Amino acid sequence: MPPESAFREPQSHPLHAAREPHASGYLERGPVHRIWWEESGDPSGIPVAFLHGGPGAGTSPVHRQFFDPRRYRIVLHDQRGAGRSTPSGSLEDNTTAALVGDLEALREARGISRWVVFGGSWGSTLALAYAQAHPDRVLALVLRGIFLGGADEVDWFMHGMGRFFPEAARAFAEAIPPDERGDLLTAYERRLNDPDPAIHLPAARAWSVYEGSCSTLRPHPAVVADFASDRVALALARIEAHYFRHLSFLAEGELIAGVRKIAGIPATIVQGRYDVVCPPCTADRLAAAWPEARYVVVPDAGHSAFEPGTRACLVATMAELAGKVG
């Protein structure tokens, strides 16, 4: 089945007004990790879990605004080592299975029986892994900018994005000495995990600026600046490199093979046509294996969830879903 056309009037589906959380705290997860979480919206509304990207990017207040606070009970959390979770940037016991366990523990701790799971980029990976592990806990899935953790996707990030963003890729490579550029992932890992801030911070900023520069259809300096900020850069770069090294702690093709476990869960896949970070071929492969899912390609969008057409599609999808599962 070909993908649907995306929404043509992005301004008709703006983000919802910002609302402050009514509850927040930390979830203790073993001897190392404390997972920060928050809730906003209607405490008796439809529960929805927002899964951020990266891995390591963390959440921001704007992420609440994809959801109508009058209809949704909005649960955000920062994954291990990301955002306000502690210790920041920690790789210890930081695996996909551990993140799935954290999400399930958070659901139980908040007294939620079933919830909608909404994730983009790496968040789509984690959403699929969680749903396949706990299908009876998922009301619906909304996935954006699909990443499945495969070796070809990692290689594309490290080398292929330069076909479209050569300037950004050149700066990414030139942050590493010439004799180490044959294996950029290893070279970056070495620097990102060095205890000296004079070594790990420049590497983190170079990695994060590279990703931010490739994330939008048109140049967006504010996006790049956010990626480069101390709030984001080190945890994002360090944790991404860790997951890339281990191919997201997934067997090759595992999430495609697991689609049969979630075929009965209502699902929407939203993909930017010109997404260079997570190219549409991956979303297309997922949609082909999952004919029950609704597949929407946004014709004028890159990777970011805040591209106008993508934002509109996500907000409208959540509005439609509220009428079906509410």
Tens digit of each residue's pLDDT (9 = 90 or more) over 191-217: 999 999 999 999 999 999 999 999 999
Is 303 considered catalytic here? Answer: yes
pLDDT confidence band for 2 (50 / 70 / 90)? low
Residues 6+ apart with CB under 8 A from 244: 154, 157, 158, 185
Q: Which of 16, 52, 200, 303 is catalytic?
A: 303
The answer to whether the bond into 219 is cis (omega within 30° of 0) is: no
Q: What pTM, to 2 d.p., does this model score?
A: 0.95
Q: In percent, how much of the chain has pLDDT > 70? A: 96
Distance CA 58, CA 236 (A): 8
**Given 85, 90, 121, 213, which residue is catalytic?**
121
Mean pLDDT of the chain: 95
Q: Which residue has the higher pLDDT, 171 or 224?
A: 171
The pLDDT assigned to 13 comes to: 73
* pLDDT for the residue numbered 133: 98
Q: Is 215 a catalytic residue?
A: no
Q: Is 275 an active-site residue?
A: yes
Kindly state the average pLDDT of the residues 36-46. Answer: 98
Whether 312 has a pLDDT exceeding 60, the answer reads yes
Residue 183 has pLDDT above 90, yes or no: yes
Q: pLDDT category, 8, cuts 50, 70, 90?
A: very low
Q: What's the rounded Cα separation, in Å, for the pair 258 and 264? A: 12
Question: Amino acid letter at 150?
Answer: G
Buried b (16+ CB within 10 A) or exposed e, 234-257: bbbbbbbbbbbeebbbbeeebbbe
